């Protein structure tokens, strides 16, 4: 089954000379497939050099900082595509050389790890790049292939293990999907992390993710995690940062402006896709056999909303809100000078509205997102 990615048209428009098109995101979500599809459909008449940072030859050439070496590599080509670019030392400086000295060359670079790409790309390529982040399959991308009724029928499966392109293959049954996702966890999820010298204990990473899996929608205490894992709070914080930057978890901070008892020192964490959480706890049971639907629902809505914000260029500040008196709001967006707050309820259509927040922020808007109205929220 072929799904059209939302970013496709934007990427096509920004593959131009004098700029590097940077596409990054989690492993195995179709970055390379998307680029190859674009090259085949729109650049078939151009001479393309495709290389991968997995190979020593590519690393030697594109880390050389030698104008002669780089010129010999790209001479006669119209477009350069470097996959796994973050694996190449000094790749940002070398791409800067290419942009500055070969003004007719179009360049695409993809990578899987945000923290590697930030260090390698950002500073040398200021004003010389367009950057896009690709997420797992978004609900808004399904609308190009399926009608609203079909999309609604996918919800229960989406809460369990949809999101990666391979899962959409019609020939895969439930057991095959589970095996595929567990293989990603074993072989790809930690790959970038384990290449870092700072990560010495793989089991601690897995244990940390397991603890987070049962705290979706709740504030996470670094001290409690440190005690449970028997490591320092500083190490926990570092591991959380690496997990965030490698597209495993997303950090949501607390909102506070007016009230003394608003909680801001702790954060909430969500998984980039529900399947990651389900694989970590090894639970792919259907919804009728689960007691964590609320967590699955909240994680799903948070990540689908982030995809919508990214793909539609909706610039917002995102928060949760909670007080020491146990009043809370799941999701707050701040844009255009207004607070828009949302409660995520799979079943309850009319939850109790926290008057404390309304009184403190009277100009804000409020909406409950449940399984009957969620599509507009995420597409």
pLDDT digits (tens, 9 = 90+) for 330-350: 999 999 999 999 999 998 777
The CATH code of domain 8-133 reads: 3.40.50.300
Could you give the CA distance from residue 264 to residue 243 in angstroms, rounded to a whole number? Answer: 21
Radius of gyration of the chain from its Cα atoms, rounded to whole angstroms: 22
Decide if pLDDT at 290 tops 80: yes
Are 62 and 90 a contacting pair, CB within 8 Å? no
pLDDT classification of 259: cutoffs 50, 70, 90: low
Question: What is residue 334's three-state secondary structure?
Answer: strand
Are 212 and 228 a contacting pair, CB within 8 Å? no
Are 111 and 91 a contacting pair, CB within 8 Å? no
Q: Where in the chain is the domain with CATH 3.40.50.300?
A: 8-133
Please report which helix (H) or strand (E) contains residue 24, including its range. strand 20-24
With b meaning 16 or more CB within 10 Å and e meaning fewer, what string describes 287-319? eeebebebbbbbbbbbbbbbbbebbeeeeeebb
What is the per-residue pLDDT across 174-223, written as a single tens digit (0 to 9) for each? 888 888 888 888 777 777 776 665 666 778 888 999 999 999 999 999 99
pLDDT classification of 1: cutoffs 50, 70, 90: low
pLDDT classification of 326: cutoffs 50, 70, 90: confident
Phi-psi bin for 376: left (phi > 0), alpha (psi -120 to 50), beta? alpha
Average pLDDT taken over every residue of the chain: 90
Q: Which residues pair with 250 in a beta bridge?
A: 270
The CATH code of domain 139-311 reads: 1.10.10.10
CA 299 distance to own-chain centroid = 13
Over residues 286-311, the mean pLDDT reads: 96
Are 63 and 91 a contacting pair, CB within 8 Å? yes
Decide if pLDDT at 303 tops 80: yes
Q: Where in the chain is the domain with CATH 1.10.10.10?
A: 139-311
Phi, psi of 86, deg, nearest 5:
-70, -15
What's the confidence (pLDDT) of residue 147?
Answer: 84
What is the per-residue pLDDT across 28-50, written as a single tens digit (0 to 9) for each? 899 999 999 999 999 999 999 99
- For residue 241, give every residue at least 6 positions away whose Cβ sits within 8 Å of its Cβ, in sequence order, or none: none
Over residues 103-124, the mean pLDDT reads: 84
């Amino acid at each position: 089954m072929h799904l059209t990615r939302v970013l496709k048209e934007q990427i096509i428009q920004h593959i131009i000379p004098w700029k590097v098109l940077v596409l990054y995101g989690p492993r195995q979500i179709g970055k390379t497939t998307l680029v190859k599809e674009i090259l085949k459909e729109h650049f078939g008449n151009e001479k393309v050099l495709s290389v991968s940072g997995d190979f020593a030859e590519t690393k030697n050439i594109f880390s050389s900082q030698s104008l002669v070496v780089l010129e010999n590599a790209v001479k006669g080509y119209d477009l350069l595509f470097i996959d796994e670019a973050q694996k190449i030392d000094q790749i940002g400086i070398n791409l800067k050389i290419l942009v500055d000295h070969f003004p007719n060359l179009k360049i695409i670079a993809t990578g899987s790890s945000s923290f590697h790409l930030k260090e390698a790309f950002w500073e040398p390529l200021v004003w010389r790049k367009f950057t896009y982040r690709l997420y797992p399959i978004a609900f808004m991308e399904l609308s190009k292939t399926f009608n609203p009724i079909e999309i609604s029928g996918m919800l229960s499966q989406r809460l369990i293990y949809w999101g990666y392109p391979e899962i959409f293959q019609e020939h895969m049954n439930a057991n095959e999907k589970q095996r595929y996702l567990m293989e990603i966890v074993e072989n790809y999820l930690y790959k970038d992390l384990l290449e870092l010298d700072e990560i010495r204990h793989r089991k601690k990473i897995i244990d940390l993710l397991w603890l987070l899996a049962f705290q979706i929608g709740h504030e996470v205490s670094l001290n409690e995690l440190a005690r449970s894992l028997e490591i320092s709070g500083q190490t926990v914080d570092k591991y959380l940062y690496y997990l965030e930057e490698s597209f495993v978890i997303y950090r949501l901070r607390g909102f506070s402006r007016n009230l003394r008892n608003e909680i801001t020192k702790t954060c909430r964490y969500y998984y980039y896709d529900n399947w990651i959480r389900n694989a970590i706890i090894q639970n792919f049971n259907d919804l009728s056999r689960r007691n964590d639907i609320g967590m699955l629902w909240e994680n799903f809505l948070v990540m689908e909303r982030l995809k919508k914000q990214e793909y539609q260029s909706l610039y917002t500040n995102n928060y949760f809100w909670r007080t020491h008196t146990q009043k809370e709001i799941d999701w707050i967006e701040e844009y255009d000078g207004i607070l828009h707050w949302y409660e995520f309820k799979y079943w309850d259509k009319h939850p109790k509205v926290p008057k404390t927040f309304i009184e403190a922020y009277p100009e804000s808007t409020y909406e409950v997102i449940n399984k009957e109205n969620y599509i507009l929220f995420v597409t």
